[in-house]
Structure 1
Amino acid sequence: MGLVSWSNLAVLSCAALTRAVNGAQIPLTPPLSSHFLKSTTPAQWDFNVTPDLNSTSHFIFDTVASLSQHWTNARYRNGHNIVPGTVPLGTLLYHGTVKHEVPAAPEWTATDPEHSYLFCLSAPTKDGSSSSCWHLTLVVTRPLKVLDFDGSSAAMMYGGSMDTQDIVTWGEVKPDWTFSERKRINELCEWGREFGLDGFVRMEMDFEIMLCDFTRAVEIVSFLNLNSSMKGGGHRPPSKSPGRKPSFELAPSFAWPNDGPSSILQYRVIEAGVWHNTYPGETRINLDLNGLISFYDTDLFPSLAVARFGQERWKHRLQGLSVVDSKAFQTRIREVLEQIRHPGSGIDWSTLIRVIVDRYAERLEILQYLLNSTSTADQAKRVQGHLRSMVVPYILHTSVPNSDFTNHSWALPVYEYCASTHTRYISSTPSILTRMTKSESLILRSVQEVSKEICRVVVGMWAEGVELGLDAISPASLPSLKFESVKIINAVRRWHERTEGLMAWLDWSVWVKCRPACGYEEICYLPTWPYIPGRGPHGPHPPRPDVGQSRVQAQLQGADDGEEVSVLPQPKCIRRVEPFTGI
């Protein structure tokens, strides 16, 4: 029997509820959220039915779960989400400069002073002396209206980190304008003026806000003439062009040194980024998920499903966005920004997703650990006990095996309740569904599909263990339940493959950590721009004018000097006290 009656949803639009699901890609829309909870049927709750190969629900789930968090967005530099948000009243922002002048044009501000101080370089004066840096501190006097680009969206390098900004500003990816930061900020701010946007949120070593107007919604707290520990040592002023964001291309000594004042300061900005590694992330940016736009939305951007087919997630980009889909994006972003105050359903999606992650992340990791041990009958009992503990809130009194073990049919209610318990109320309440924004329906679908796949695998393994006689739930009188070591060991091997497959599909960055754990004088660090291993401090360089067209094209696709840039960053231990080594 299903969890909800279809008749309960009759108040919704018939056309919306019966929208067809066509093609390999499953459109992520409100009707499918309701469709998910139709009455239980073998097709709906079949342990052998895996997610569609083209499903992007796990990508949507993980990117939404990782918003404003440094760790995952450093791991996957190419962002796919654009989210409206606000910066609260009283928030401090910081700007490092070589001039005692409040910027008259759009400029970059940091959320932590360690970050802005790196750009507060000493500049030589006309008489040859050196002037100390100027450090501007601002306070937000009313909530700033901002647009957030996820991923490492401030990483000035080829490979896709700037794609979402290109789509917003120019309607297409412009790899040859990757380093055109002044053009980018000016045109973004010009574009955002119509919607009353005050700035744009991006991430590199730490988070920054591209502030469009230093005279609106902010006031000066201080403008200090600081002593710069960054002077000398080969550092140069960022540019003679006023207002240009300093580039690490112009400061070669920003390569990681082993000791000295510069190394301490550079470590401090990395440390500031680490503060925001995990949930809740950078809390000074309040994102409104009611207006989230995801380029993993296959209903809105079907052309990208074709472009990324067969690619690893690390290489997903927006270069394949069609002209039609680009126009659809412009329509959607306009809807979002013009209706930014839409109240939505009232569901706290960030918390709901966090509940799912907290519930399963560590338990799946422990399951993986147990299954990596020697496959013995005793070990199988330990695994079975762990599996049972994961699903015990959903094991009904009537959930016991009978003489028919076909597809674990007796365990289907356990599978269904496990998969739907967190979203059942939302999906069965018409008043909530009718208030949902398109963004919320997208998120709901991702939560449903991720929960379903987790429970399909976990409950399926538990049910098999019950049938093998590993669980006390099994009535001893059933002759078919025999404790056979060979079958059990083979089952455990299958469980190992299924667990590895599930965790690879989910790909939660909480499982990406330093092994073994770092010592007390170290931190676990995920390499991020501009400290790209093996590529100097700047990552890929812009094409040189003397190289051939084929080399330029290779670079624009993510390759530098014939080598592959797209290598997934791996965590490592670096020192947090002198001498600073390991970056």
Structure 2
Amino acid sequence: MLPCLVVAAVISCGSAISAVGNANHIFNAIHSSMRQWGSSLYHNGMSFFLASVPAGTQLYHGGPSPDHVIGTEWLAFEPEHAILFARMPPMGSQPGVPGRGPHKGPPPGHGGPGGPGRQKPLLLEPPEDEEPRSSGWLQTYVPVRDLRLLYIDGMSAGKTSNGTLDSQNRILVNDTVHDDQIMNEFARAREFCRLSHEVWNDRLDGVIRMEAGFEIILCEFERDLHLLHEVEVQANKGGIPRHLPRPGKDHNKTMHEIVPDSGPWIKAITARYHGIGGNRVKVNYDHFVTAFTYELDIFGGQSKNLRPRLDHLDTSQLEPIRQDLKALILGHDTNEPSFDWQSVTDMVVERYAHTLKSLVSANITANMKQLHDDLKKVVDPFFDFGGRNITAEAERCATQFIPFNAPIESVAARAVRSIADSVCFTLLEAFDEPNYDTAVAKIQDLVDYLAWTTWKECRGCADNEVCVIPIWPMGIWEDWESPTCRDMRNPQADGVEYWGRVFVPGPTEHDDS
């Protein structure tokens, strides 16, 4: 009998498989972490990880000035992402933006910013009478030491009402930013930096989030970064992007018409579909906090719902998560050693994703003999024909990718082992099942439960195409259901907008009072 695995909530303990509650969602959160593809498909992140960015890593900032930024600002991992900032107008001149102009942050050593220097790219419409400036500045910074960061998974930088902001608004900033303030990035950044200074003993420097590209909100640029160089860049031809696509108004406009020169940006984003690359971010998988391990109805009573939400829960129900997040930050360093459980999820997915899909394909396994033969090829290495024992066979199968000396008590360890158990037991049970329909149904139920993001990847995109999924602020519903190859210069197709209303900030949404 396999040992009983327990994380917060156990589905079953007496069966052959020791199943961890929400093990599939925890497994997928680990597998998709710091990856644009999976984090876009499962955009409502429910987890917080400690992370670090090594000293010397090149990061990018775009804005109206070549001067070293002071205070709190945004950094991009890709220059194509940051250059969009450089091509926008000065944010301090925007109507409804309170506080100060850009690059006028707090003095060095100040724990909390007076308000970040500007908003995110492509969010603000310029005043009608403002003369567009002809150029901006793309700056390259490098951290002077390893940056200590909190990684909020999913598409946590997407300004949507779809749930992308739930973990931040409900847990991290404790309901200080409300649903009618979706665009209020000022408040989120300010509250995070206040928590870091006043509650978490200055143990974190900033936050990693993802929208159309990964970014860092850094609390103190002048303390943590060296300005390596800056280059002047031309503003968008004919002015700046006026707005994002608006349902009903820009239905026939291409992405290139709305965001000039969007091709390099899209190419840079999709290049990070399967990882940020270059060991630029180290994530601690041994210790993290996830809403999936709490007894909360985050799926609205639908076990197959892939879009968890926190918006309907009372704040008291979320307080244990806040306290555990505080304990995580105060109790662990971002640079402490951690076992790479993501690499194990990669091996499991790479080994079984195509196999499982082919096994439930009627045109490949049309009868019991063919299915039996195909299954035998998969499970044969784990058989002992001197005396078959399904429990021992599943043990050998489930542990094949887990190092013998790997830690076994963490949430990640238990979730990954639970998924490996589920895969191996299902394959073995299907092999022993004499009825074709029953065997296929067992495997199909497993596929539905696993919901691996690799199953939605496009096949055979041309060199000038990208596999399109909804990535805020772009995308339609059809792209989530069936991602499609499209020309990277015009990835936006006609259809029902996935993100609903595009939020353009006004005085209320920028109200920091």
TM band (smaller chain): 0.7 to 0.9
Alpha-carbon shift at residue 139 of structure 1 (Å): 1.1
- Helix, strand or coil at the partner of 1:225: strand
State yes or no: 1:187 paired with 2:181.
Answer: no
Equivalent of residue 532 in structure 1, options 475, 478, 493: 475
- Helix, strand or coil at the partner of 2:292: coil
Equivalent of residue 369 in structure 2, options 376, 381, 404: 381
State yes or no: 1:445 paired with 2:417.
Answer: no
> Counterpart of 2:287 in structure 1: which amino acid?
G
Equivalent of residue 235 in structure 1, options 238, 241, 248: 241
Matched with 1:44 is 15
State yes or no: 1:415 paired with 2:415.
Answer: no
Counterpart Cα distance in 1 of 2:480 and 2:257: 31
Matched with 1:111 is 77
Matched with 1:155 is 158
Structure 1 pair 426–134 and aligned structure 2 pair: CA distance change class (3 A): same
Structure 1 pair 156–144 and aligned structure 2 pair: CA distance change class (3 A): same
- Helix, strand or coil at the partner of 1:164: helix
Please give the residue correspondences for 1:418-429 in structure 2 after superposition, counting only pairs within 5 Å.
418-420=397-399, 425=404
Contact 1:83 1:292 in 2 (8 A): yes
Counterpart Cα distance in 1 of 2:473 and 2:144: 32
Contact 2:48 2:153 in 1 (8 A): yes
Structure 1 pair 144–162 and aligned structure 2 pair: CA distance change class (3 A): same
Equivalent of residue 442 in structure 2, options 498, 504, 510: 498
Once the two structures are superposed, residues 425-481 of structure 1 have per-residue CA deviations (whole angstroms, 9 ceiling, x without a partner) of 469xxxx56xx5xxxx211221222112112210011123xxx5xxxxxxxxxxxxx
Structure 1 pair 259–330 and aligned structure 2 pair: CA distance change class (3 A): closer
Counterpart Cα distance in 2 of 1:343 and 1:420: 28
State yes or no: 1:456 paired with 2:425.
Answer: yes
Q: Which has the larger radius of gyration?
A: 1
Please give the residue correspondences for 1:179-578 in structure 2 after superposition, counting only pairs within 5 Å.
179-193=183-197, 194-228=201-235, 230-232=236-238, 235=241, 248=244, 258=254, 265-279=261-275, 283-297=279-293, 301-302=294-295, 304-305=296-297, 308-310=300-302, 312-341=304-333, 347-369=339-361, 371-373=362-364, 375-376=366-367, 380-399=368-387, 411-420=390-399, 425=404, 441-464=410-433, 491-514=435-458, 517-533=460-476, 568-576=480-488
Instruction: Structure 2 unaligned segments of length 5 or more: list them.
Output: 94-128, 495-513
Contact 1:69 1:281 in 2 (8 A): no
* Higher mean displacement: 190-199 or 214-223: 190-199
* Higher mean displacement: 495-504 or 338-347: 338-347
Counterpart Cα distance in 2 of 1:412 and 1:93: 50
- Helix, strand or coil at the partner of 1:269: helix
> Counterpart of 1:272 in structure 2: which amino acid?
A
Structure 1 pair 213–50 and aligned structure 2 pair: CA distance change class (3 A): closer
Contact 2:26 2:292 in 1 (8 A): yes
* Higher mean displacement: 276-285 or 175-184: 276-285
> Higher helix proportion, which one?
1
Matched with 1:175 is 179
Alpha-carbon shift at residue 348 of structure 1 (Å): 2.9
Counterpart Cα distance in 2 of 1:288 and 1:225: 37
Alpha-carbon shift at residue 282 of structure 1 (Å): 7.5
Alpha-carbon shift at residue 182 of structure 1 (Å): 1.0
Alpha-carbon shift at residue 533 of structure 1 (Å): 2.4
Contact 2:299 2:307 in 1 (8 A): no
Alpha-carbon shift at residue 178 of structure 1 (Å): 1.6
Counterpart Cα distance in 2 of 1:397 and 1:294: 42
Counterpart Cα distance in 1 of 2:162 and 2:132: 40
Aligned residues: 452
- Helix, strand or coil at the partner of 1:183: helix
> Counterpart of 2:484 in structure 1: which amino acid?
K
Counterpart Cα distance in 2 of 1:454 and 1:122: 49
Matched with 1:73 is 39
* Higher mean displacement: 56-65 or 261-270: 261-270
Contact 1:154 1:203 in 2 (8 A): yes
Counterpart Cα distance in 2 of 1:497 and 1:209: 44
> Counterpart of 1:191 in structure 2: which amino acid?
L
- Length-normalised TM-score, structure 2: 0.77
Matched with 2:111 is none
- Length-normalised TM-score, structure 1: 0.69
> Counterpart of 2:59 in structure 1: which amino acid?
L
Instruction: Structure 1 unaligned segments of length 5 or more: list them.
Output: 5-20, 37-42, 237-246, 401-409, 469-490, 535-565
Matched with 1:16 is none
Once the two structures are superposed, residues 400-419 of structure 1 have per-residue CA deviations (whole angstroms, 9 ceiling, x without a partner) of 5xxxxxxxxx5443234334
Contact 2:245 2:251 in 1 (8 A): no
Structure 1 pair 275–567 and aligned structure 2 pair: CA distance change class (3 A): closer
Counterpart Cα distance in 1 of 2:28 and 2:345: 9
Counterpart Cα distance in 1 of 2:492 and 2:173: 41
Structure 1 pair 94–495 and aligned structure 2 pair: CA distance change class (3 A): same
Contact 1:394 1:418 in 2 (8 A): yes
- Helix, strand or coil at the partner of 1:28: coil
Once the two structures are superposed, residues 378-413 of structure 1 have per-residue CA deviations (whole angstroms, 9 ceiling, x without a partner) of xx433222211211221013245xxxxxxxxx5443
Matched with 1:539 is none
- Helix, strand or coil at the partner of 2:394: helix
> Counterpart of 1:94 in structure 2: which amino acid?
Y
Alpha-carbon shift at residue 514 of structure 1 (Å): 2.7
Equivalent of residue 25 in structure 2, options 51, 54, 59: 59
Structure 1 pair 191–62 and aligned structure 2 pair: CA distance change class (3 A): same
Alpha-carbon shift at residue 527 of structure 1 (Å): 2.1
- Helix, strand or coil at the partner of 1:493: helix
Once the two structures are superposed, residues 309-356 of structure 1 have per-residue CA deviations (whole angstroms, 9 ceiling, x without a partner) of 226433311224444443222321222111223998853322222222
Once the two structures are superposed, residues 246-288 of structure 1 have per-residue CA deviations (whole angstroms, 9 ceiling, x without a partner) of x8489x9999954868766312212111111125768422111
> Counterpart of 1:177 in structure 2: which amino acid?
Q
> Counterpart of 1:197 in structure 2: which amino acid?
L
Once the two structures are superposed, residues 26-69 of structure 1 have per-residue CA deviations (whole angstroms, 9 ceiling, x without a partner) of 95069x89x97xxxxxx532xxx8968xx301110111111001
Q: How high is the sequence identity, in percent, across the aligned residues?
A: 24
> Counterpart of 1:136 in structure 2: which amino acid?
Q
Structure 1 pair 138–451 and aligned structure 2 pair: CA distance change class (3 A): same
- Helix, strand or coil at the partner of 1:296: helix
- Helix, strand or coil at the partner of 1:289: strand
> Counterpart of 1:287 in structure 2: which amino acid?
V
Structure 1 pair 382–113 and aligned structure 2 pair: CA distance change class (3 A): same
Once the two structures are superposed, residues 513-571 of structure 1 have per-residue CA deviations (whole angstroms, 9 ceiling, x without a partner) of 236x333432212121111328xxxxxxxxxxxxxxxxxxxxxxxxxxxxxxx994531
Contact 2:470 2:480 in 1 (8 A): no
Structure 1 pair 69–383 and aligned structure 2 pair: CA distance change class (3 A): same
Counterpart Cα distance in 1 of 2:267 and 2:27: 27
Alpha-carbon shift at residue 137 of structure 1 (Å): 1.5
Structure 1 pair 291–248 and aligned structure 2 pair: CA distance change class (3 A): farther
Contact 2:256 2:262 in 1 (8 A): no
